[in-house]
């Protein structure tokens, strides 16, 4: 087990469409373990494999409803199959520094996925947990929560990051 480095915007790996997983082997298990450890250490409520530089369709989330609870779920090849309603909730991202913003999402989603043994599963969730799953599944398609903001907000953020990066050089 080891903590992995979380890639930050504008790393190009975050923009790739991640590959489907077909091998449910020990290396997948090890990667998921690293991701779980990295997520809780950050701390965050979700992490997608591309965020640690692995462009494959794997996400880990903390599904606990409790403030400090830990109920880890690992989803392989997750896909949203149904959506219902809308909600707007404040989001941030471990790969997008110094920004939180309200994002409009579906209120309820059904997600089909495979578990760590390759077994097909389905899950219907609402509210905050639905937000987390939509956010993490977006990562697998190269989409960041930034992309859901207005053009103006996005442009301002890009400008700020450019300045920060220039200052570091």
Please report, as ranges, the residues that interact with Ni ion according to CB under 5 A: 93
> Least separation, in Å, of the C-beta of 145 and Ni ion?
6
> Which residue is at the shortest CB distance from Ni ion?
93
Measured CA to CA, the distance from residue 81 to residue 89 in angstroms comes to 21
Q: Of residues 66, 70, 122, 136, which has the active-site annotation?
A: 136
Helices (H), 11-168: 26-41, 127-140, 151-168
Calculated CA dihedral for residues 11, 56, 98, 88, nearest 10 degrees: 130
Is the Cβ of residue 7 or residue 24 nearer to Ni ion in the bound state? 7
CB closer to Ni ion out of 76 and 93? 93
Rounded to whole angstroms, the Cα distance separating 77 from 136 reads 11
136 is catalytic: yes
What are the φ and ψ backbone dihedral angles of 116, each rounded to 5 degrees?
Answer: -70, -10
124 contacts: CB under 8 Å, gap ≥ 6: 82, 108, 109, 110, 111
The least CB distance from residue 25 to Ni ion, in Å, is 26
Nearer to Ni ion, 28 or 60 (CB): 60
Spatial CB neighbours of 141, under 8 Å, sequence gap ≥ 6: 17, 18
We find the least distance from the C-beta atom of residue 48 to Ni ion, in angstroms, to be 7
Q: How far is the CB of 135 from Ni ion (least distance, A)?
A: 5
| End-to-end Cα spacing for the chain | 32
CB closer to Ni ion, 50 vs 113: 50
Give the catalytic positions in this structure: 136
């Amino acid at each position: 087990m080891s903590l992995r480095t979380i890639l930050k915007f504008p790393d190009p790996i975050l923009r790739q469409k991640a590959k489907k997983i077909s091998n449910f082997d020990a290396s997948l298990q090890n990667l998921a373990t690293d991701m779980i450890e990295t997520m809780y250490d950050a701390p965050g409520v979700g992490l997608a494999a591309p965020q640690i530089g692995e462009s494959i369709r794997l996400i880990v989330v903390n599904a606990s409803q409790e403030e400090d609870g830990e109920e880890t779920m690992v989803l392989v090849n997750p896909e949203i199959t149904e959506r219902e309603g809308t909600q707007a909730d404040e989001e941030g991202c471990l790969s997008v520094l110094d920004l939180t913003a309200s994002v409009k999402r579906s209120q309820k989603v059904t997600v089909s996925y495979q578990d760590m043994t390759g077994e097909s599963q389905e899950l219907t969730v609402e509210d905050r947990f639905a937000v987390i799953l939509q956010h993490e599944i977006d990562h697998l398609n190269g989409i960041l929560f930034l992309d859901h903001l207005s053009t103006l907000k996005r442009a301002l953020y890009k400008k700020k990051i450019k300045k920060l990066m220039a200052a570091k050089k």
